[in-house]
Copies of this chain bind each other. A is one copy, B any other.
Amino acid sequence: MTKPNLQIALDQNTLAEAARIAHLAGPVVDIVEVGTILELQAGQQSISVLRSMFPDKIIASDTKCADAGSTVAKNSKDAGADLMTVIDSATIPTMKSALSVLDGIQVELYSAWNWELAKEWKKIGIKQVIYHQSRDALLAGEVWGKKDLDIVRGFIDLGFKVSVTGGLNIDTIKLFEGVPVYTFIAGRAITGQSDPKAAAEAFQSEIKKYW
């Protein structure tokens, strides 16, 4: 089974802080994500800075695009992003519009999806989804469990590459053993540590244990 990627979600409030963390942990990860918070705070420059820092890595722009798909995708692509997120409640025309500019469109799953819709996404050319435990849901006490894994497997069975995110840490990786996850996305479990590089390395070692 292919080793899942490790993606670092940079959701800092300033580009300076995001660049500090990326400078340390970026070389260890496979995908560098410009998080929604960072992008709303620092703008398109946050994508171009991270693209310049890591010319050989995959750069993800977490716009959670809901409308004006081609414009948002063009702006992300122009700044150097390979991947861009759209929200699950975006319309099919919005997703098509984004796909017309950037092949690497990922649908981020919140509360608006169902299996029929997922099949429609597949049909229009969406190849990736992000299964997501909301940070606020986690704070409200929800946790990873069998229900989540069944959904992840369901999307993989439909042919999607599935990234997982939301409160992941070293201890939750093993829950996915045997599941061909495409990417683990970690935020604070790397960015919130005193040694972000060591934290990223620990994630990579843990992933390699099971895949």
Taking Cβ atoms with an 8 Å cutoff, the residues of A that contact B are 11, 13, 36-37, 39-46, 63-64, 66-69, 71-72, 75, 87-91, 93-94, 96-97, 108, 110-112, 132, 134-137, 139-140
* Contact A136-B43, Cβ < 8 Å, known A87-B110, A88-B89, A90-B110: no
- Residues of chain B within 8 A (CB-CB) of A36 are 66-68, 72
Give Cα A69–Cα B63 distance, bound, in whole angstroms: 15
- Residues of chain B within 8 A (CB-CB) of A63 are 40
* Contact A40-B43, Cβ < 8 Å, known A66-B87, A68-B136, A93-B136: yes
- Residues of chain B within 8 A (CB-CB) of A67 are 36, 64, 110, 132, 134-136
Q: Is the CB of B40 within 8 A of A75?
A: yes
Give Cα A94–Cα B108 distance, bound, in whole angstroms: 15
Q: Is the CB of A108 within 8 A of B66?
A: yes
- Residues of chain B within 8 A (CB-CB) of A11 are 68, 71
- Residues of chain B within 8 A (CB-CB) of A71 are 11, 13, 37
Report the 9 A-B pairs with minimum CB-CB distance, sorted nearest first: A43-B43, A112-B112, A89-B112, A89-B89, A93-B136, A89-B110, A94-B136, A93-B140, A42-B43
Give Cα A139–Cα B136 distance, bound, in whole angstroms: 34
Give Cα A69–Cα B132 distance, bound, in whole angstroms: 15
- Residues of chain B within 8 A (CB-CB) of A89 are 87-89, 110-112
Most buried by B among A39, A67, A137, A139: A67
- Residues of chain B within 8 A (CB-CB) of A97 are 136, 139
Give Cα A137–Cα B91 distance, bound, in whole angstroms: 7
Q: Is the CB of A93 within 8 A of B41?
A: no
With both chains docked as a complex, state the minimum distance between the C-beta of A74 and any C-beta of chain B, in angstroms. Answer: 9
Most buried by B among A46, A108, A110, A139: A110
